[in-house]
Structure 1
């Protein structure tokens, strides 16, 4: 108590507050997977279903199976994968004198390299 007298009575009767509880945050939910409509290509170049036939010409935005239907023949090679944007597909056609590469993101033609 002698030490209490030296520091005052309030110092001996005060209690330290417990440390605040740690804040636990739940991990952020992953963004929903991008959705796409229509049939898609398998790795062997076949379609999962018949293409609805909506596209009349090869243009940005058409579906994977629309490309095959419009070309009238199966592709030379197909690479199917998942990227940051979702489903990514590369379709190669060996044409006389040139190669054509079609890039799809979520079943929509994104770009063409000839």
Structure 2
């Protein structure tokens, strides 16, 4: 079971900057959620202040799913957000890996980008 106490063991280091990123094992060890709301609440509790809503999407079957990001590097994320506002684009070493995308479906199923 994933807890705040053992969360660190689910991270790997990737990219040229060796940034922290959640491994596939994290997704495999997630609890079974019964709804989008239940899953989102669990992630908010596990990543307080670092789990942010991005947007709602519609799947092929017209069911909604929800995109979230887990912020792994707050400093890079804030710089990326500022660049997007000012320049309309953000590029630079590490900006892609400062967050990790989480898709949560209405039924509570979760897919994480790796």
Scaled to the shorter chain, the TM-score interval is 0.3 to 0.5
**TM-score under structure 2 normalisation?**
0.40
**TM-score under structure 1 normalisation?**
0.40
Q: Give the number of the structure whose residues are more often helix, by fraction.
A: 2
Highest relative contact order (Cα 8 Å, sep 6+), 1 or 2?
2
